[in-house]
Amino acid sequence: MAEENSRTKKTIPPYMKAISGSLGGIVEASCLQPIDVIKTRLQLDRTGSYKGIVHCGSTIVNNEGVRALWKGLTPFATHLTLKYALRMGSNAVLQSAFKDEETGKISPAGRVMSGFGAGVLEALVIVTPFEVVKIRLQQQRGLSPELLRYKGPVHCARMIVREEGILGLWAGAAPTVMRNGTNQAAMFTAKNAFDTMLWKKHEGDGKVLQPWQSMISGFLAGTAGPICTGPFDVVKTRLMAQNKSGGELKYRGMFHAIATIHAEEGLRALWKGLIPRLMRIPPGQAIMWAVADQITGFYERTYLTNAPL
């Protein structure tokens, strides 16, 4: 019993995982917001106005100024900070629940389920309302504040609630749940696998990865999700961008949106914005994990010995 209690005490607590994720999210958002703006504009482009990533970025800068590439940064940074805190903390709690009581190890299935659960939780609690506000702000085009429908994130949220009801902030919740659940199941599983294969890092061995090692593992772990969940991301963006003030809604739900986009724009349209997603998510995961692993590593070196990461 004493040995079991000692082992429990030497586990990095979920709140430290949450803190590490939130700080990593702040750094990630500041670095990669322009790519997210370009991704959103490409996904909302139904007429072919943009010829690609570079053309989209240059058009935004020429017509709206460089600062337009950081539109929606406030809700995006806040959303990432809270999302990573919830993701890392809830994943740690769920992994503890799935661990074998005798060995303290978690099975591959338990790791997948922990990641999926963390993704679903973050999608419902944080991601959906913040992304609705972010996308509404990002789709606005122009320089004059008086001509913009939404004056800022708070004003945008209040307008959505006033015109569409509180549930308007959860538009596109279904594809967001599917996207985030699948993404996090893949990401946490892949990050652990790459740490083991590349750096011989095993949970509980007390080894702390160097930042560049965390970045490589995080980058590779972040590549699978966007490819698998591209249609969910496109549908999520379309559902979040539409509002009832313009009359009847074009898309009535996730499956109707998928069918409509496929019929009107072709199969490839369901992966619109994939390249900028791959330009943003894997580097974002690299940045986040580099920060998070160092924070948990500092905690381990300072307070623990051989604590499982």
Neighbours of 48 (CB within 10 A): 7
Taking each helix axis from N to C terminus, what angle separates 230-241 and 173-199, rounded to the nearest 10 degrees? 140
What does the pLDDT read at residue 140?
A: 81
69 neighbors 36 (Cβ within 8 angstroms): no
pLDDT per position as a tens digit, 74-94: 877 887 888 899 999 999 999
Query: Measured between alpha carbons, how far is 168 from 4 in angstroms, rounded to an integer?
Result: 48
Query: Measured between alpha carbons, how far is 4 from 11 in angstroms, rounded to an integer?
Result: 11
- Say yes or no to pLDDT of 247 above 70: no
With cut-offs at 50, 70 and 90, classify the pLDDT of residue 306: low
What does the pLDDT read at residue 46?
A: 81
Running DSSP on this structure, what letter comes out for residue 166?
G
Running DSSP on this structure, what letter comes out for residue 12?
P
What does the pLDDT read at residue 9?
A: 46
60 neighbors 39 (Cβ within 8 angstroms): no
Domain 12-241+248-295 belongs in CATH node 1.50.40.10? yes
pLDDT average, residue stretch 145-160:
84
pLDDT average, residue stretch 240-266:
85
What does the pLDDT read at residue 138?
A: 81
- Say yes or no to pLDDT of 6 above 50: no
pLDDT average, residue stretch 102-110:
86
Mean pLDDT of the chain: 86
Neighbours of 306 (CB within 10 A): 11
- Say yes or no to pLDDT of 165 above 60: yes
Query: Measured between alpha carbons, how far is 207 from 44 in angstroms, rounded to an integer?
Result: 45
258 neighbors 235 (Cβ within 8 angstroms): yes
Which percentage of the chain shows pLDDT scores above 90? 45
**What residues contact 77, with CB distance under 8 A and at least 6 apart?**
25, 26, 29, 30, 33
Q: What's phi and psi for 304, nearest 5 deg? A: -125, 170
Neighbours of 197 (CB within 10 A): 11
Which percentage of the chain shows pLDDT scores above 70? 91
pTM of the model: 0.77
What does the pLDDT read at residue 280?
A: 81
